[in-house]
Every structure is written in C-alpha cells, then in structure tokens.
Amino acid sequence: MQEFVEALKYLLLGLIQGVTEVLPISSSGHVELSKFLLEMDFAENLMFLILVNTGSLLAFLVIYFKDLLRLVKDFFIYLRHRETREMTSPNFHFLLKLGVASIPAAIVGVLLSDFIDQMLSTYSILLSGVGLLLTATILYLIGYRRYRHGLSSISYKESFLIGLAQAVALVPGVSRSGMTTAVALKKGINIETALKFSFMMYIPISIGSIFLYLIKAALMEDSTSTLLPGSEYVIYYLLAFVGAFIATFFAFKVIFNIFRTNKLKYFSYYCFVVGLLSILLFIMQ
C-alpha cells in the first residue's frame, strides 16, 4: 500500500510539472510546493529533475516536430544554396533568433545555477512564493489588455529581450512561459507568434539544462546514488516522466485559447494565492 501511495505521489508530481510548464503559473514553484505538501524530499537526487524535464521536452519535440524539421532543413539549404535564400531566409533567421534568445538563460544557468540551487535548498517554498508573486504581477499587468493583433515576425533585438525574460524565469516561482510571452506581447508581437516562439525557446534551454544536470551528477562523489537511490525508484521516476509528457502535451492544447480569451488575469489571481500560501507555509514550518 505504501509503495502504491508513493507511486501516485510521483505520478502527481509529473502531471503537475507538465501542466505548469505550459500554463503561465511556474512549474518550479508548483513542484516545490507540491514536494512540501506531499512530504517528498529528494533534494540530493537529480534523476527526477532530469526525467520530468525530459518528459516536457519530449512533448514539445512531438508538438513542433514538423516545424523543427523544416527549420533545420531550410537552415542548411540557406547555407548551401544561394539561389533559394529568399525562400529559406525566414526559417534560417527564425532558428538563429531562437539561438540568440537562448543565450541569456544559458549564461545565467551556467554561472548562477549552483547559487539558485543553494538558495532553493535553504529557502525552498519561500523563494518560490516570492517568484509566484512576481509572476502574478506580470500576468496582472498584461491580463487586461487585448493582444489578438500584432506583428507576425520577431526581430533579433526582441529575441534577445525575450531571452532575458527567460533568464529571469530561472528563479523558482517565476513562470517561463508567462514571462517570455508577456515580453513578446508587450513588444507588439501577435499571440500566435509569441506563443510559438516562447515554447520553441523551451527546447534548446531544456536540452541545455538536462546536460547541466547530468554534468552536476557526474561531478558528485557518488554519482550512481545521486542519479538513482534505489531500484524501487525506477517505476516512480518512470511514472513522473510519463505524467510530465502527457500533461505537457494536453496542456499545450489549452494554452492558446486561454491567451485568446483574455483570461490571464485569473491566472494572476491564482498565482497571488499560491505565492502567499507558499510564503505562509514556509513561515509556519
């Protein structure tokens, strides 16, 4: 019975990761709060973080498979065939802009990931709660404006600014999708382009974070126990991975309608409540 309950906890945590990775309410903040409420402690174990991130990453790779294939194909055609550059130029530059947008978060991740992890291990849900309040404020500020119309292209400057927003979202509790989409909408980008660019940005930064987790694990003294503390965890982590994949995939189907119907302010109210709850629980513990 205890094993079944534990398995349900990991499945639930994977589902929470997947849903909140897409919705503008911060996956890191919700995972930290859920770990606290479910009394789950695996701060020293990186395999869970690797797998749930990989689950969400795989979902986005499936969703954007055709787009990614076209981008990569046009990128190399642009380099090799000058006569077709006018046709392949949009995808060539779109891929480069994704690279530009990934630079700020990559730099922050490499330089400050250990500091952020240390802060999180010390202040846990307090840090997440503050981040959720920041997310709530951003969502509130853009929640009462309509962004159905706008530009369908993103400049290199705008790509870098959106990338800066993604770097800020490395702080637990700050929503990556909320911050990046808010900046894109603020710069006059239409909702479809803003969301596509925001979610496709997740792919390179997620791949980078997974490699960073693996490097951290390899550098630890007992990397085997760090990655997998026991054979019984195989099924638990597999459930978390599957849960993250499924939840990310289906939550993505909902997100466009949420932005189109101008309901971001309700997510703002939600983040305010969860942020205050996280801070209160930290004070009470």
What is the sign, positive or negative, of the torsion defined by CA atoms of 34, 107, 23, 266? Answer: positive
Mean of pLDDT over the chain: 87
What is the sign, positive or negative, of the torsion defined by CA atoms of 224, 225, 231, 233? Answer: negative
Check residue 4 and give its pLDDT: 85
Percent of all residues in the chain with a pLDDT value above 70, rounded to a whole number: 89
Stated pTM of the model: 0.89
What is the sign, positive or negative, of the torsion defined by CA atoms of 42, 54, 92, 259? Answer: negative
Strand partners, 221: none
* Token representation of residue 8: 């349900």
DSSP character for 18?
Answer: H
Average pLDDT over residues 93-117: 92
Question: In the structure, what pLDDT confidence band is assigned to residue 260 with cuts at 50, 70 and 90?
Answer: low
Check whether 104 has a pLDDT greater than 80.
yes
Give the domain extent around 147: 2-284
CB within 8 Å of 74: residues ≥ 6 apart: 88, 90, 91, 92, 95
Q: How many helices (H) and strands (E) does the chain have?
A: 11, 0
Check residue 228 and give its pLDDT: 57
CA angle 56, 44, 15 (to 5 degrees): 25
Mind listing the pLDDT tens digit for each residue in 5-33?
A: 888 999 999 999 999 999 999 998 998 89
Tell me, rounded to whole angstroms, the distance of Cα 32 from its chain centroid: 14
Taking a C-beta distance cutoff of 8 angstroms, is the pair 178, 135 a contact?
yes
Percent of all residues in the chain with a pLDDT value above 90, rounded to a whole number: 51
The dihedrals phi and psi of 264, each to the nearest 5 degrees, come to -60, -30
Average pLDDT over residues 55-60: 94
Check whether 69 has a pLDDT greater than 90.
yes
Check residue 44 and give its pLDDT: 47
Q: Give the side-chain half-sphere CA count within 13 A for 108.
A: 17
Domain count for the chain, please give it.
1
Average pLDDT over residues 113-117: 84
Check residue 122 and give its pLDDT: 84
Higher pLDDT residue, 160 or 264? Answer: 160
